């Protein structure tokens, strides 16, 4: 067992991140002195409303958006995704009842997939585009799924939360707009904001399209994946996009999202984005070097493992491996007892009887579906932590295999 004093090695940053100390400090005044309701009409509240708009400007600038009012603060990426899909679909159907189709992929987060399944039950047509064995989107299938005049919203993630595989958003959004400029293009960027460049700008003094994401109409992300707290997120909504509001009530967020603003957390979100904005490439390169070392060392020390998404472009912080010949829960328990926190997609530990829908879509062989692990790094991960994770994980796999009826110790291979 890791002793109380022994530091935990936390490699589950795609699940959530530590709040940055600078973010905690930036939030503090809004819990203590500036607790006003920003919709009130007295002077301190009006000043606070201006501060929220300052945060909005900062977020817009960091994402390259053309206008600050294109940023709507929400409670999390799940809410942003729900609002984009439901609000985008309703807006499109209102303008033209024939537009009642969504196109998405088989590997989206449940915050998109489950919404699509619900909308399907309510009469919407949904196409789920597949991926290849590396997790790359099937472009031909994507093109075929788009129906000009019928498709309302396309929703595609930027980077996959389980494998880190990156979808070519610039290319996909171009295809969509060439097919039908009225289709709204939504990106779930929860795992890519602060890890990959995002430029939503469209206004270009030369008259062209400036940002690589200039064809994107909606984009979701969440605070707790970028060192801000849980309970805050944002939806980017390009001016002119057909949209019916999702949360109904007061007039906050210019009538597009009701509910008293979570002022401290909004300030925290803006601060976190600002902190991460500089040095993106240096930070990415540092994380990538550590991730690659982790990957190479595990591949060298542990036979019969496979890196999922190895040949696809991936976010610099994510490593997903499948382990043959042992129970995933046993490996996870041994790893956790030794103070290393990673995420497991194995059936029992994720609380579901189903294997990961992402790996199933990638056609990962069944022998590797029950023992897959995600290591996800952050800006705070150190080389020493990676060293420890390598040792602990290699030892855990060896021990789990020794005890497993799935492993032939004499031959050193899994039992078929």
Q: Does 327 bind ligand PLP (CB under 6 A)?
A: no
Residues of this chain, 144-173, that bind ligand PLP according to CB under 6 A: 157, 161
Q: Which is nearer to ligand PLP, 176 or 193 (CB)?
A: 193
Q: How near is the Cβ of 74 to ligand PLP at its closest, in Å?
A: 9
Q: Is 168 exposed, middle or buried (0-12, 13-18, 19+ CB in 10 A)?
A: middle
Applying the rule CB under 6 A, the residues between 117 and 146 that interact with ligand PLP are none
Q: Does residue 271 bind ligand PLP (CB under 6 A)? A: no
Q: What are phi and psi of 279, to 5 degrees?
A: 75, 25
Contact assessment for residue 369 and residue 355, using Cβ atoms and an 8 Å cutoff: yes
> Rounded CA gap, 167 and 164, in Å?
10
Residue 147: how many other CB atoms lie within 10 Å: 17
Q: Is 76 in the site for ligand PLP (CB under 6 A)?
A: yes
Rounded to the nearest whole angstrom, what is the least distance from the CB of residue 221 to ligand PLP in the complex? Answer: 8
The verdict on 191 binding ligand PLP (CB under 6 A) reads: yes
Phi, psi torsion values for 341, nearest 5 degrees: -100, 110
Residue among 188 and 327 whose Cβ is closer to ligand PLP: 188
Among left, alpha and beta (phi > 0; psi -120 to 50; other), residue 124 is beta
CB 14, min distance to ligand PLP, A = 6
Q: How many helices (H) and strands (E) are present in the chain, helices listed first?
A: 13, 15
Query: Is residue 272 a contact residue for ligand PLP (CB under 6 A)?
Result: no
Is 348 annotated in the active site? Answer: yes
E strands, 296-405, where?
Answer: 305-307, 318-323, 340-341, 343-344, 372-376
If the CB atoms of residues 222 and 241 are measured against ligand PLP, the closer one turns out to be 222
SS3 annotation, 9-33: EECECCCCCCCCHHHHHHHHHHHCC
Min dist. Cβ of residue 81 to ligand PLP (A)? 6
* For ligand PLP, the closer CB: 161 or 308: 161
Can residue 273 be called a binding residue for ligand PLP (CB under 6 A)?
no
Within 8 A by CB and 6+ apart from 311, the residues are 134
Interface with ligand PLP, residue 344, by CB under 6 A:
no
x/- mask, ligand PLP, residues 226-255, rule CB under 6 A, reads -------x----------------------
Q: Which residue numbers are catalytic?
A: 348
Give the binding site for ligand PLP (CB under 6 A): 76-78, 81, 109, 111, 157, 161, 188, 190-191, 222, 233
């Amino acid at each position: 067992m890791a002793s109380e004093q022994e530091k935990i090695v936390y490699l589950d940053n795609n699940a959530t991140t530590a709040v940055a100390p600078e973010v905690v400090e930036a939030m503090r005044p809004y819990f203590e002195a500036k607790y006003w309701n920003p919709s009130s009409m007295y002077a301190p509240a009006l000043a606070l409303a201006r501060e929220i708009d300052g945060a909005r400007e900062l977020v817009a600038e960091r994402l390259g958006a053309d206008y600050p009012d294109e940023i709507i603060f929400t409670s999390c990426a799940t809410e942003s995704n729900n609002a984009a899909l439901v609000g985008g679909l309703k807006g499109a159907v209102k303008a033209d009842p024939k537009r009642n189709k969504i196109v998405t992929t088989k590997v989206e987060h449940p915050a998109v997939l489950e919404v699509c399944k619900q909308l399907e039950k309510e009469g919407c047509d949904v196409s789920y585009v597949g991926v290849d064995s590396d997790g790359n989107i099937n472009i031909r299938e994507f093109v075929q799924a788009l129906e000009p005049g019928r498709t309302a919203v396309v929703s595609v993630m930027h980077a996959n939360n389980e494998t880190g595989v990156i979808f070519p958003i610039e290319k996909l959004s171009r295809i969509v707009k060439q097919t039908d400029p009225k289709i709204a293009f939504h990106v779930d960027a929860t795992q890519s904001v602060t890890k990959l460049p995002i430029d939503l700008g469209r206004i270009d003094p030369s008259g062209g399209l400036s940002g690589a994401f200039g064809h994107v109409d909606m984009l979701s992300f969440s605070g707790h994946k970028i060192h801000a707290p849980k309970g805050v997120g944002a939806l980017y909504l390009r001016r002119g996009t057909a949209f019916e509001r999702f949360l109904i009530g007061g007039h906050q967020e210019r009538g597009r999202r009701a509910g008293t603003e979570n002022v401290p957390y909004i300030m925290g979100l803006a601060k976190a984005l600002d902190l991460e904005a500089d040095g993106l490439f240096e930070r990415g390169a540092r994380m990538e070097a550590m991730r690659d070392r982790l990957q190479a060392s595990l591949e060298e020390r542990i036979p019969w493992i496979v890196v999922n998404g190895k040949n696809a472009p991936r976010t610099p912080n994510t490593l997903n491996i499948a382990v043959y010949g042992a129970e995933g829960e046993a490996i996870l328990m041994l790893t956790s007892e030794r103070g290393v926190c990673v995420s497991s997609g194995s059936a029992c530990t994720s609380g579901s009887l189903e294997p990961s829908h992402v790996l199933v879509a990638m056609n990962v062989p069944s022998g590797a579906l029950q023992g897959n692990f995600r290591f996800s790094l952050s800006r705070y991960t150190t080389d020493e932590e990676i060293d420890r994770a390598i040792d602990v994980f290699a030892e855990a796999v060896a021990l789990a295999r020794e005890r497993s009826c799935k492993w032939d110790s004499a031959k050193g291979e899994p039992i078929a």
